[in-house]
Amino acid sequence: MSLDEQVERLSQLKQRATLGGGQDRIDRQHEQGKLTGRERINTLLDPDSFEEFDALAIDQYNPTAEGFFGDAVITGWGTVDGRPVYIFAQDFTVYGGSLGEVVGQKITKVMDLAVQNGVPIIGINDGGGARIQESVTSLAGYGDIFRRNVLASGVVPQISIVMGPCAGGAVYSPAMTDFIFMVEGTSQMFITGPDVIATATGEQTTPEELGGAMSHASKSGVCHFAHESEQECLEQVRRLLTFLPSNNMDEAPTVDTGDAPGRMLDDIASVVPEDSGLPYDMRDVIERLVDNGDFMELHEYFAQNVTVGFGRIAGRSVGIVGNQPMYLGGVLDIDSSRKAARFVRFCDAFDIPIVTMVDVPGYLPGLSQEWGGIITHGAKLVYAYGEATTPKVTVITRKGYGGAYDAMGSKHLGADVNYAWPGASIAVMEGTSAINIIGRREIQAADDPEVARLELVADYKERFEHPYIAASKGYVDDVIEPRETRVRVARALEMLRGKAQTLPAKKHGNLPL
């Protein structure tokens, strides 16, 4: 065979691989409002940057007429904004995107390369789970992937994009990655599907209600981002990567945002009411704090009493955690503690500074919270802040009460710089509640109990419920004007750029799971 004939044969094989399961199946994918695996890769990556691996790999169980080159996954690497990423995309047009031996080998290869080269790994999931006809071999493939998720955790960012069915064992790999993106109407994640649930429990549900994007974005918290279309979803993955370093030894990209670090928050008084009982949107404060108001919120629809996300200050990436007075008064509960703790741990793993905006009335009381394990779940947030060695700057805007004050990036958990606004209340509990306990006898003995109560509350607020006691003890480094918040936070972060802190030597801590 001549060289020209060999090249022609290669071209035909590559073309066959490019078509996946064939044009008919590609058309069916499009009819469902979904892109193919290749189209998704090309949309996500920079133009003409994708380099494919193992395009000619083939399933040994069916290597002849029905065999598909590349099997049910496309793997390789490319760039996003010029920065390299490794990527795999399940191909639903081939065996329904199911995972068999070849698919498992291809995915683990790029995962290994990602860790070895310090490059993010992105997985696009759209498949029917383990390939039944390959029996335990397909299960082994999942196990191999799971272990690599664990080894890569905290070393390189791991991003999962769910763009179709993801069921059974297939959901555990995305669950161990750092971020999960889903698309409304076409993405589902669940351990057992509606039919199995109906048989086992009698409950009637649909795939979308059970495991759709908004179900996981608002109810379970499994999904970090839910988008209306695949195009929007992939654009937001590109946006997320701009805030992240490539690995745990690298720094996130510095961006010339054109927003001066010395910019004052001149209208902040119109955003935050003086009355601590009135709500406001913490996102309005955060968007004024970060460069150009560019704040990428995670878990927007889940545990909304805490807001978390990425922004930039002086061009550098920061992770921001803030109580949200608009929802349950910004109180901490089970879900918000878990949400904030996982975000803090991610930022710490990749040395992204954490800015904490505190306005917290305490922990949410109630039987459901206590029986649901608020003690353990609340401790996760305490543990996360206490363990974090990345630069930590905290600002108390209005109040920090009780153990929730400690949990929200306090000096006592190792925050580097702590500020408070002059109207901030920092105490064991709010004045009225405190006086109902410590002033009970005095109130009962008074001629006018209500007048006595008001006087005792006013005295308590004057003596205890202000930031100057904490400032006098160094628990707050300075009481600052609200309009200076961005300037002071930017300067603190610049001062902390060279921070180096090590924890006591140990195999690992025992996080209260």
Matching fold, domains 3-242 and 268-429+466-495: yes
pTM higher than 0.85, yes or no?
yes
Residues labelled catalytic: 168-169, 403-404
**Would you say domain 3-242 falls under CATH 3.30.499.10?**
no
pLDDT band at residue 63, thresholds of 50, 70 and 90?
A: low
What was the pLDDT predicted at 312?
Answer: 98
Domain coordinates in residue numbering, the chain: 3-242, 268-429+466-495, 431-464
Tell me the C-alpha distance between 20 and 36, whole Å: 9
- Chain segment 373-393, per-residue pLDDT in tens: 999 999 999 999 999 999 999
pLDDT band at residue 277, thresholds of 50, 70 and 90?
A: confident
Please, are residues 490 and 417 in contact by the beta-carbon 8 Å criterion?
no
SS (H, E, C) 466-483: CCHHHHHCCCCCEECCHH
Tell me the C-alpha distance between 287 and 283, whole Å: 6
- Chain segment 283-317, per-residue pLDDT in tens: 999 999 999 999 999 999 999 999 999 999 999 99
Strands of the 121-125 sheet, one edge to the other? 51-53, 73-80, 83-90, 121-125, 158-162, 179-183, 225-227
- Chain segment 353-369, per-residue pLDDT in tens: 999 999 999 999 999 99
Q: Which CATH number fits domain 268-429+466-495: 3.90.1150.10, 3.40.50.300, 1.10.3290.10, 3.90.226.10?
A: 3.90.226.10
Residue 35, both tokens: 């892109």
pLDDT band at residue 60, thresholds of 50, 70 and 90?
A: low
Q: Burial level of 500, CB count in 10 A (0-12/13-18/19+)?
A: exposed
Q: Assess whether pLDDT exceeds 90 at residue 35.
A: yes
Mean pLDDT lowest for which of 51-65, 223-237, 251-265, 287-301? 51-65
CA 143, chain centre distance (Å): 24
SS3 44: helix
